[in-house]
Amino acid sequence: MNQSSVPQNVDTERLPCPYCGDSYESGDLARHNEPVQCGPCIQCVGKPACFTCGLMYCACDVHKFRG
């Protein structure tokens, strides 16, 4: 049969993360997808663990930029 079907190879693996830009594997999914309720910083609250907060005032251990 010759069916012209829409490609449905949309895997959830190996997608570039919208937060850190890395392409990640399914094993790292939680790190890039699970929201972290981190605290007083409004910039990064609810972002996953891979997110790096750009605020220099960020006191959050998870997202604080480590230079």
Site residues (vs Zn ion, CB under 5 A): 17, 19-20, 32, 38, 41, 43-44, 50, 53, 55, 58, 60, 63
User: Given the complex with Zn ion, which of 26 and 41 has the nearer CB atom?
Assistant: 41
Minimum CB separation of residue 2 from Zn ion in Å reads 40
Whole-angstrom distance, CA of residue 33 vs CA of residue 64: 17
- Alpha carbons within 13 angstroms on the beta-carbon side of residue 2 total 0
Could you tell me which residues are beta bridge partners of residue 35?
48
Query: Rounded to the nearest whole angstrom, what is the least distance from the CB of residue 8 to Zn ion in the complex?
Result: 25
Q: Which is nearer to Zn ion, 1 or 42 (CB)?
A: 42
Alpha carbons 43 and 65: distance in angstroms, whole number: 12
